[in-house]
Amino acid sequence: MVNISPRLRQLMQRGSAFLGAPLAIVGGAMTWISERHLVAAISNGGGFGILACGSMPPDRLREEIKGTQALTGKSFGVNLITMHPDLDALIQVCLDEKVSHIVLAGGLPAAPAVKKVKDGGAKLICFAPAVAVGKRLARLGVDALIIEGTEGGGHAGPVSTSVLAQEILPVIRDIPVFAAGGIGRGEAILSFLEMGAAGVQLGTRFVCASECIAHPNFKQAFIRAAARDAVLSVQIDPRFPVIPVRALSNKGSLLFLDKQRDVIARFDRGELSKEAAQLEIERFWAGALRRAVIDGDVETGSVMAGQSVGMVREEKPAAVILEEMIAQAENGLKERK
């Protein structure tokens, strides 16, 4: 287990107590990547792993939770998408399997979903892209927030982590707030803790953990990439809004533009309803991500990555990644004296 100085432990105390983990470092939920092996490795290393449910049906999620519990006796959470048609059943699976923390992502959760999580005894975490949203979630009874900046991988908002932290951390103090997006070193973790964050969430940094099941091609793409290679996808028609996705620039990025053009042309010809056209565009990334992560197609697949990808230089165990980041944070503390 990682050794932590009294000062760093004090800075992490609120987040650690909330998570039930020695380190207030959360492994962000990444579809196809954050499955039982990586999640267990992060939790066993002292952090807090989160399973990515994605589009799993309830029975599949139950199997993945049980598989994770077989690999670790430590705390971990489950990330559920609010738009999932079986959300209520997925929440029940988490409660049945005694999952301690549930993350509701992908939009503001409905009050009944919040109530179900809370009544079931799990702690609820949600994402807050702005102060007003954070305050509203706190009033709803959410137990903790994650503020994720545009530097992060996958679906990303328009505001940087540093700006969100300055806006939200001084204002929302009643519940723990975890900073996320673009965090790749311990010095950055330290800075957010000193600003008032309860802890941090990292995704990109754990993709090249040796326990991660991502295809070797996917990991090599991360190791070769620079920060500037992780770019946001482009929306070409305001009639069909697209939540930007940050991924390594490749042929797949161009294919997404082609997909939008094709779908919009079919809509204009009356061949698709607006709803069907929007859904077809949104579904592009789900298939493209699987091709990259599982099949190793890093040319036409979606290699979702945050800008901290430039700090990923080799494959190593999750526990070693955590140890290195804590050592960097400790060095940062020493330099402040």
What's the pTM? 0.95
In this prediction, the residues of the chain whose per-residue pLDDT falls under 50 are none
Task: Write down the pLDDT at residue 1.
Answer: 63
Whole-number Å distance between alpha carbons of 40 and 337 = 36
Task: Write down the pLDDT at residue 185.
Answer: 97
Task: Write down the pLDDT at residue 148.
Answer: 96
Task: Write down the pLDDT at residue 3.
Answer: 83
Per residue, the 3-state secondary structure of the chain, as one string, reads CCCCCHHHHHHHHHHHHHHCCCCCEEECCCCCCCCHHHHHHHHHCCCEEEEECCCCCHHHHHHHHHHHHHHCCCCEEEEEECCCCCHHHHHHHHHHCCCCEEEEECCCCCHHHHHHHHHCCCEEEEECCCHHHHHHHHHHCCCEEEEECCCCCEECCCCCHHHHHHHHCCCCCCCCEEEECCCCCHHHHHHHHHHCCCEEEECHHHCCECCCCCCHHHHHHHHHCCHHHEEECCCCCCCCCCCCEEEECCHHHHHHHHHHHHHHHHHHCCCCCHHHHHHHHHHHHHHHHHHHHCCCCCCCCCCECCHHHHHCCCCECHHHHHHHHHHHHHHHHHHHC
Task: Write down the pLDDT at residue 126.
Answer: 98
Task: Write down the pLDDT at residue 288.
Answer: 92
Domain boundaries, the chain: 6-213+312-336, 226-304
Task: Write down the pLDDT at residue 161.
Answer: 97
Q: Which fold has domain 6-213+312-336?
A: TIM Barrel (3.20.20)
Task: Write down the pLDDT at residue 133.
Answer: 96
Task: Write down the pLDDT at residue 285.
Answer: 80
